[in-house]
Amino acid sequence: MEETGAMKMAARACDQTRRDRRRAFLLGGAGIAPAVAALRTSQAQAATAAQAALPVTRYRTAAIDGVNIFYREAGPADGPVVLLLHGFPTSSHMYRNLIPLLADRYRVIAPDYPGYGQSDMPDRASFAYTFDRFGALVDALLDSLRVSRYAMYVMDYGAPVGWRLALKHPDRITGLIVQNGNAYEEDLKDFWDLIKAYWADGSPAHREALKVLVTPATTKFQYTDGVRDVSRIAPDNWVHDQALLDRPGNADIQMDLFYGYRTNLPLYPVIQEWFRARKPPTLIVCGANDQIFPAEGAHPYRRDLPDAELHLLDTGHFALKDKLDAMAPMIREFLDRRVAPH
């Protein structure tokens, strides 16, 4: 009987323990519910704040001297301006991933030249496709946006367009980012032989031979040549560019510009003198494996800009498409350190 009574007492104790645990759980749950609700509110507020902080790119068009110029714009209206000037055969599309990485602090503007991207493509019979004209239109666009001070990112064709802006307004440039864009004849190597032949005589035969440069194979080559891991390059890049090159009449526009590129060479000594006189803060970051503007063309900048920061990356012509993860922090740090304080 004593053993049975002890067992009953133990059973009652176990039952009481279970009841106490259940009560504690229920009481605890009453306290947990508000905490969970508060946590969810905090998470929602953080997500809202993150979305608010994420820069929004706006896509605009301005009528400049009778031509509709498309441009991408992002960032605070009163932020230091960074002008992104694209190369051949692309458009402001090439900067679409870089823009939001700068636009939390900087006002970023990336236009399309006529005949490129979403800008008008006027008939060659009534519009001169020249680098002088491109420079004048970009300058007028900046005036319409009330931009009087800006850093420039110049790449490929963006370099001769940018040099014209710098020579017209030598005091407006707050800094330079140079990526596979040239200001020295040392950069015009073997790739340019066919183009130089056209410069020499302007013949229809040499013009026709240059049309290989607007074919799908060449457009893809520009993005993939010299790239170690091609899986890093989105095929959208060359598909997008080729669709615009294939528009009726666009190939002849490109031939006009290939021929007109010869007008950039006489500007090189003048822009080099501007480098020496103005000493703009300069970051040079280039694809070392580029056949169009080889790495040899990056080093001469240091003759005239000894304080320029030079980085050669293991990639090709469109370095930004392969090395955005390396280049964006480099560009941002340069702007924060050398340009924003001005």
Tens-place pLDDT, residues 283-340:
999 999 999 999 989 999 999 999 999 999 999 999 999 999 999 999 999 999 999 8
The band of 6, judged by pLDDT with boundaries at 50, 70 and 90, is very low
The band of 19, judged by pLDDT with boundaries at 50, 70 and 90, is low
User: Going by C-beta distance under 8 Å and a sequence separation of 6 or more, which residues neighbour residue 288?
Assistant: 226, 295, 312, 313, 314, 315
The total number of residues shown for the chain amounts to 342
Q: Which of 299, 311, 317, 342 is catalytic?
A: 317
Nearest to 220 by CA among 78, 89, 40: 89
Does the pLDDT at position 55 exceed 70? yes
Q: What pLDDT is recorded for position 9?
A: 44
Nearest to 65 by CA among 127, 6, 10: 127
Q: For this structure, is 317 an active site residue?
A: yes
Tokens of 22: 């259940």
What are 244-268's pLDDT values in tens digits? 999 999 999 999 999 999 999 999 9
What b/e string do you get for 126-146 counting C-beta neighbours within 10 Å, with b at 16 or more?
Answer: ebebbbebbbbbbbebbeebe
CA distance 19 to 15: 6
Q: What pLDDT is recorded for position 26?
A: 47
Q: What pLDDT is recorded for position 54?
A: 85
pLDDT, greater one: 1 or 162: 162
Q: What are phi and psi of 107, to 5 degrees?
A: -85, 110
Contact indicator for 58, 73 with CB cutoff of 8 Å: yes
Q: What pLDDT is recorded for position 340?
A: 86
Nearest to 95 by CA among 210, 211, 177, 187: 177
Does the pLDDT at position 36 exceed 60? no
Q: What pLDDT is recorded for position 342?
A: 52
Does the pLDDT at position 145 exceed 50? yes
The band of 32, judged by pLDDT with boundaries at 50, 70 and 90, is low
Work out whether strand 67-74 and strand 58-64 pair parallel, antiparallel, or are unpaired: antiparallel
**64 bridge partner residues:** 67
Tokens of 10: 């133990």
Does the pLDDT at position 272 exceed 90? yes
Mean pLDDT for the chain overall: 90
Q: What is the SS3 assignment for the chain? A: CHHHHHHHHHHHHHHHHHHHHHHHHHHHHHHHHHHHHHHHHHHHHHHHHHHHHCCCCEEEEEEECCEEEEEEEECCCCCCEEEEECCCCCCHHHHCCCHHHHCCCCEEEEECCCCCCCCCCCCCCCCCCCHHHHHHHHHHHHHHCCCCCEEEEECCCHHHHHHHHHHHCCCCEEEEEECCCCCCHHHCCHHHHHHHHHHHHCCHHHHHHHHHHHCHHHHHHHHHCCCCCHHHCCCHHHHHHHHHHCCCCHHHHHHHHHHHHHHHHHHHHHHHHHHHHHCCCEEEEEECCCCCCCHHHCCCHHHHCCCCEEEEECCCCCHHHHHHHHHHHHHHHHHHHHHCCC
Does the pLDDT at position 226 exceed 80? yes
Q: What pLDDT is recorded for position 186?
A: 84
Percentage above 90 pLDDT, the chain: 81
